[in-house]
Amino acid sequence: MKAFVLRWKTIILAFLLILALFIMAESGFQIRAFAQERYADLQNFTKVLNLVEQYYVEEVDTKKLIYGAIKGMLRELDPHTNFMSPEIFKDFETETTGEFGGLGIEISVQNGVLTIISPIEDTPAWEAGIKAGDKVIAVDGHSTKGLSLVEASQLMRGKLGSKVILRIVRESEEEPKDITIVRGSVKIKSVKYTDLGDAYGYIKITSFIEKTSKDLEKTIEAHLKNNKKIDGLIIDMRRNPGGLLDQAVKVSDMFLKEGAIVSTIGRNKKEKEVSSATKKGKYTDFPLIILVNEYTASASEIVSGALQDNKRALIVGQRTFGKGSVQSVVKLGDGSGLKLTVARYYTPNGISIQAEGIRPDIEIEDVDPEAFAKSVLKSKITREKDIAGHLRGDREKDTEKAQKKLDLTPKETNNALAWWKEVGNKKDENLSPREKLFKNDYQVYQAFSYLKAWKTLQVLAR
């Protein structure tokens, strides 16, 4: 019996050994086939490089050709994956401390065109009149066509106090225009506050820098001290280009009792890194509205998604930008560097932020006060045009076209009328800080209306 069992064990072991050898051979064949295919591709590259070096009409810089080849390869990937020459990478490592001046803008490449995601408030670019959505077609006369993000950033950098001229194309204007910006030390105040009265507060987060979460906590504590309570907050992250991930996580954590905040997933879908609330959130029991728009990006989208999916806040405004990718920086042997996209960000509900953005719970289109006054505001005097069924005049038809251009629904038009009657047509010197804010910002006015009506919106907030 023992001999019989031993014989079967030997047979099974031999079978497993043969199977393992077969699998290894098959894998080896696949690896060899892959290597041969890769080698053939590299042979083509080497052959072209040799031909250029030997027969091109002028002598060439081989390193320049190789760097160009790497850049060309990376252009097949996303715009945030870039190669940096040793000179550029050195500046990237040291940033701009003391020696260089900044502009204070977040840029991206959209459809091959260098585009301003957002100028950061109170920075040189903001003060010079740069706007979100501006297309930068030249920097100091040098075309930006074909430039990577790091190359464009390098072109814009310079000594503190020096000038740079950006030629921009703006959607509302027919001709390109030159805007001169004096490079300055970019000191960002990332948290700004306005008391809205009755224990309500408005807080604007312009970007996520090292002190954002601490400054936000100080601001909320000051509001609580002055008002004895918090009946509701509006946190405005419109035109916020993002910043530090850890600050986005800390800000989200302040308003959450529990739950995931953001997850990061790379090529291997099974490997997931999750950042969760620490259960130390201090501000979890009052109404919260997050205001966003199409220039809300990156870290600010992470906060919006975390608070939306955890049913902690109502997201109001317009769909966000959709920058939800993670970059890793690798220093190469010759001092050059590679900035490589390695993962995507996902909201707690598993929704990818990348290219999708955060969809608001309530959409509010922006309204320009001057355009509204010219095209929407109706006269208080009853005239022919106020009579039902009247024959429309040419100007009235133009007004209707303007309304369509502003994309105002009848309900939004009525809301805008209420806004205009309350603060829009008043002079600034007669307005409180709250009213000045409402006069110049229809979306904030509307967000405040929703905040005051929170009880009726609790179903949406959940």
Closest CA to 289 of 277, 304, 276: 304
- Answer for the pair 208, 300: CB distance below 8 angstroms, yes or no: yes
Q: Which two tokens stand for residue 410?
A: 């009848």
Q: What angle do CA 38, 40, 43 make, to 5 degrees?
A: 110
Which of 323, 325, 339, 441 is labelled catalytic? 323
Rounded to the nearest 10 degrees, how much is the dihedral formed by the CA atoms of 258, 259, 261, 267?
Answer: 150
Q: Cite the DSSP H helix spans in 351-457.
A: 369-375, 394-406, 410-419, 433-440, 442-452
Residue 108 designated active-site: no
Distance CA 450, CA 445 (A): 9
Distance CA 268, CA 31 (A): 20
- List, in sequence order, every residue forming a beta bridge with 340; answer none if it has no partner: 328
Which of 85, 190, 207, 298 is labelled catalytic? 298
- Answer for the pair 121, 206: CB distance below 8 angstroms, yes or no: yes
Residue 64 designated active-site: no
* Phi, psi (rounded to 5 degrees) for 164: -135, 140
Rounded to the nearest 10 degrees, how much is the dihedral formed by the CA atoms of 376, 380, 386, 391?
Answer: -60
Residue 395's Cβ-count burial label (10 Å; 0-12, 13-18, 19+) is: exposed
- List, in sequence order, every residue forming a beta bridge with 181; answer none if it has no partner: 164
Tokens 């996520």 correspond to what residue? 208
Distance CA 357, CA 251 (A): 19
Query: 2-55 and 62-74 helices cross at what angle (nearest 10)?
Result: 120
* Phi, psi (rounded to 5 degrees) for 219: -65, -45
3-state secondary structure of 210: coil
DSSP 32-63: HHHHHHHHHHHHHHHHHHHHHHHHSSS---HH
Which of 215, 253, 309, 441 is labelled catalytic? 309
Distance CA 348, CA 7 (A): 56
What is the radius of gyration, based on Cα positions, of the chain?
29
**Amino acid letter at 459?**
V
Residue 323 designated active-site: yes
Q: Which two tokens stand for residue 312?
A: 């902690």
Closest CA to 309 of 270, 263, 371: 263
What amino acid positions are annotated as catalytic residues? 298, 309, 323
